Amino acid sequence: MSVRIVVGAQWGDEGKGKIVDLLSEYTDIVARYQGGANAGHTIVIDGKKFVLHLIPSGILQSDVQCVIGNGVVIDPVALMEEIAMLESFGISMKDRLFISHQAHLIMPYHKMLDKAREEHASAAIGTTGRGIGPAYIDKFSRVGIRIVDLLNRTVFEEKLRANIEEKNTVLTKIYDHQELQVEQIVHEYLAFDTQIDPYIKDTALFLNQAIADGKSVLMEGAQGALLDVDHGTYPFVTSSNPTSGGACTGLGVPPTSVDSVIGVVKAYTTRVGNGPFPSELHDEMGAQLRATGAEFGATTGRPRRCGWLDGFALRYSVMINGISEIALTKLDVLDGIDQIGLCIGYEVNGKLLKSFPADVTILSQCTPVYEYHEGWKESLAGIRSYQDLPEAAKQYIIAIEKIAGAKVSIISLSPDRADTIIR
């Protein structure tokens, strides 16, 4: 038995999809614990690309069962499109996909409010506009609509009418938006209930029973630790807890069941949207990393901001997540670079910081302290063992391990499943 959590250790987009898919070969169940369709997990198998937004990345392994937990907010349209896409490739969902009856639903007004607030905000966060934040607001305001509410039409309609009355006031009076029609939404979501019914399950009971039976479980997060609503660069964060602690609440699994935490780390750093980014490169090197690494969002297509690996932020992430091992991705993107920067600290007004700052005003004033490592001239393509890596690449990995305080156990050399070194 093993219960492992896979977290993104940076600002998301670290390549979690590939790592979860890879580890799923040795796993019985893969469970997604937070976020929504704002996630974009890209997996490439024999040159064929799959982009998943809600369904766990383990679905591409034919004998793996997948769970969407109570901590996820579900967009019915996105979910059904994703199921249809996978089935069109001959990937069966029957008896393999289970969705928590306690998961909250993203309603049409959540998307409208998300976009309207972003457009009118004095300082935009840079959301995807998928309704994730407003859905979590309703969840914690205790007016959210869960999948279980669809089972009772009377209760569902009562909740929906109350919500729409409030949302219509906000949409029309503040954002000058047209009113939503209750009957249309009721019809759409009851139709969705019929489609989703075969997948609904008490997933907390299912997972805990599986763990008791000795099955292996892989818990998958979306986004990254530095976007965590509690521990990230607030307010430029997501609306949930991508950190390892979110796995337990998002799935109903006790922390005493967890054996290890794997942090997925890109060999450089990227960020999408607004917010401080100390090691960001605004020069030709930043543009080169973006072009070579194909750094454009899988969900939105937005270009990602790029910079050298921020080891100081990574050490903070290792601490708050309890990361015991690192999966290092996109090392091949650094092929041919003469000198590779690694941020080992932050400096403010000439003074070195001892810890990662909670105040984004201070973080935005930080100057990165770099050490530079010799690059490697040859391509890493086709390398299958750690011993065969160039010495310069090994030294860079050792430097990452030193600053992070965790061992690099997996090294990814391309998006394809096969191009991976397991140490």
**Which residues does the annotation mark as catalytic?**
13, 41
Residues recorded for the chain: 423
Nearest alpha-carbon partner for 42 in 25, 57, 31, 55:
57
- Sequence-ordered list of residues with C-beta below 8 angstroms from that of 410, at least 6 positions apart, any chain: 19, 22, 262, 325, 326, 327, 328, 420, 421, 422, 423
- CB atoms under 10 Å from CB of 354, counted, come to 7
- What single string gives the DSSP state of each residue in 72-123? BEE-HHHHHHHHHHHHHTT---TTTEEEETTPEEPPHHHHHHHHHHHHH-SS
| Cα 289 from Cα 283, distance rounded (Å) | 10
Burial of 413 (0-12, 13-18, 19+ CB in 10 A): buried
Single-letter amino acid code for the residue at 222: A
Q: List 408's β-bridge partners, or say none.
A: 326
Q: Which two tokens stand for residue 169?
A: 């006031």
- Is residue 204 within 8 A of residue 70, CB to CB? The reply is yes
- What single string gives the DSSP state of each residue in 200-260? EE-HHHHHHHHHHTT--EEEE--S-GGG-TTTSSTTSS-SS--STHHHHHHHT--GGG--E
For residue 410, give the 3-state DSSP assignment: strand
Q: Give per-residue burial for 39-74: e unless 16+ CB within 10 Å, then b.
A: bbbbbbeeeeebebbbbbbbbbbeebbbbbbbbbbb
- Is residue 295 within 8 A of residue 306, CB to CB? The reply is yes
Nearest alpha-carbon partner for 206 in 60, 102, 57:
102
- Is residue 98 within 8 A of residue 71, CB to CB? The reply is no
Q: List 264's β-bridge partners, or say none.
A: 8, 327
- Sequence-ordered list of residues with C-beta below 8 angstroms from that of 374, at least 6 positions apart, any chain: 338, 339, 340, 392, 395
- CB atoms under 10 Å from CB of 191, counted, come to 12
